[in-house]
Amino acid sequence: MNNTCDLEKRLQTIISIQRNIDIITAFLLLTGQVTVVRLIVEPKGFALSVGGPLTGIGRLEGISGNKTLSLILDIGDILLAILLISDQINVSGIFLGPGRFSFNITGPIFGVPKHVPALPDLEKVFTQFRWIVSEHFDIEPEILI
């Protein structure tokens, strides 16, 4: 019983972290710090990748300062933020590139099933994480508990 309760707490922690990432990404979209930079086509759906100066990617704007195109991009960012806040879409991962990264956003509204955290290998993942971090970084062991 205690083990199940502990796993449930860990699952809730993961869900909370994922939700916070969604809210932070929505805030970055609303403040203009990130915007759509890429469309990723997946089987039966698509995902959008967002980035900006904070992530090492130039912010997209209308060609030659075209205010109409910039306004359309801003409206798209606002719609994405609303969908993130309302939990219709979620940050599903991070795309890493040389000197930059971007957040991938997708969900059922884009034809991709919602990512649900699962815990089948949680203890194995934590053990590997602790080993990798302690092996390659000088971190107090108490922090990795």
46: left (phi over 0), alpha (psi -120 to 50) or beta: beta
Residue 1: per-residue pLDDT? 42
Q: What is the pLDDT of residue 108?
A: 94
What is this structure's pTM?
0.75
HEC profile of 43-104: CCEEEEEEECHHHCCCCCCCHHHCHHHHHHHHHHHHHHHHHHHCCCCEEEEEEEECCEEEEE
Which pLDDT score is estimated for 10?
78
Closest CA to 110 of 37, 50, 42, 51: 42
Residue ranges per domain, the chain?
2-116
Mean pLDDT per segment of 10 residues, for the chain of length 145 residues? 67 88 94 90 92 83 77 91 95 88 93 80 74 74 64
What per-residue confidence (pLDDT) applies to 125? 74
